[in-house]
Amino acid sequence: MSPEQTDRYAVTLTDQQWRERLSADEYQVLRRAATEAPFRGEYTDTKTVGVYSCRACGAELFRSDTKFTSHCGWPSFYSPLAGDRVEYIEDSSHGMRRVEVRCAACGSHLGHVFEGEGYDTPTDQRYCINSISLRLTPDPS
């Protein structure tokens, strides 16, 4: 992702503003498309009911009722809240064809989406999302 400000998104900050807003690790994943280590993220195994939002801009992205256990090392969802909440970018890095998932509001890297892996989900998709890209707001009990 270019370090320059882009007007393509509703939330637009300069690279320096993102660096000031995010921790070093958050910046690397959200703004430079790094990947956090597997099985270390705070939301990998959580069962808390609520909404997962973009850690960079606060846009609501996923609900806990679409989260499922995939044993892949990162939180997995079978669908975003709505199709316009995320954007999809063809990713041919690392010698494979993948589809990157970004926040549609700010362009931050969230993870990747995979299809046809055989999980018992309504969409046959696995949104493999970095915990560090998300913030969970529990539903009031």
**Catalytic machinery residues:** 128
User: Which element (helix H / strand E) includes 127?
Assistant: strand 125-129
**What one-character-per-residue DSSP string does 43-112 give?**
TSS----EEEEETTT--EEEEGGGEE---SSS-EES--SSGGGEEEEEE-GGGS-EEEEEETTT--EEEE
